[in-house]
Amino acid sequence: MMLSNIIANEPINPAQLRQAAQIILALQEELKTRIVKGSGPFLAAIYDEKGNLIAKAANSVVHENCSHCHAEMNAIRLAEEKLHTYDLAPHRLALYVTTEPCLMCLGGIMWSGIRQIYYGVPSKRVEEITGFDEGFKPNWQDEFKKRGITVYGNIEPQVGEEVLAAYVAKGHKIYRPSR
Ligand SMILES: [Zn+2]
């Protein structure tokens, strides 16, 4: 993995990055299976500091007829239900997601108390490959840093791009509001 390609809002901790890459690669691998079954193409997981999986979810916009059922939002909701709280901050949790969070999910993450975000494919590439609209997000990494939220991104992006391309190639839905 090329450290220089990583997008981060603080100095990179190599051990933390290695662990994040392992988790994101595993999520991408799981997505390949999910896409074959018509799910995806996004997957998010929340872990505690000891490496325990707290919640994992894919996007479910189409299946649930719910425009905010993105993978990150679904995973956060599951984590909060499981831990019986609207404030995840005391639990010191990290969110791992196969692509950069969209405009809505950044808000959801910010208000959840998640401490760290690790993502795979940057939004620009997601939009180029799939046609999904990821929203406008000026300086979001800096804004997150101000709020004490660590961000590392562009983690193993090639693998993630292949997964997205497979979703498109299968002719799965690129859902969006009609304009
Ligand atoms: Zn989203």
pLDDT, tens only, 28-57:
999 999 998 888 899 999 999 999 999 999
CA 71 – ligand 1 centroid, Å: 7
- The string of pLDDT tens digits covering residues 99-122 is 999 999 999 999 999 999 999 999
pLDDT band at 4 (very low <50, low <70, confident <90, very high): confident
Q: Exposed, middle or buried by CB within 10 Å (0-12, 13-18, 19+), for 77?
A: middle
Given the residues 72, 80, 156, 161, the one annotated as active site: 72
Give the Cα separation of 42 and 97 in Å (integer). Answer: 7
CA 108 – ligand 1 centroid, Å: 9
CA 151 – ligand 1 centroid, Å: 16
CA 130 – ligand 1 centroid, Å: 14
CA 134 – ligand 1 centroid, Å: 7
Share of the chain above pLDDT 90, in %: 93
Which pLDDT score, from 0 to 100, does residue 68 have?
96
Q: Does 156 qualify as catalytic in the annotation? A: no
Give yes or no for a contact between 63 and 37, defined as CB atoms under 8 angstroms apart.
Answer: no
Which pLDDT score, from 0 to 100, does residue 2 have?
65
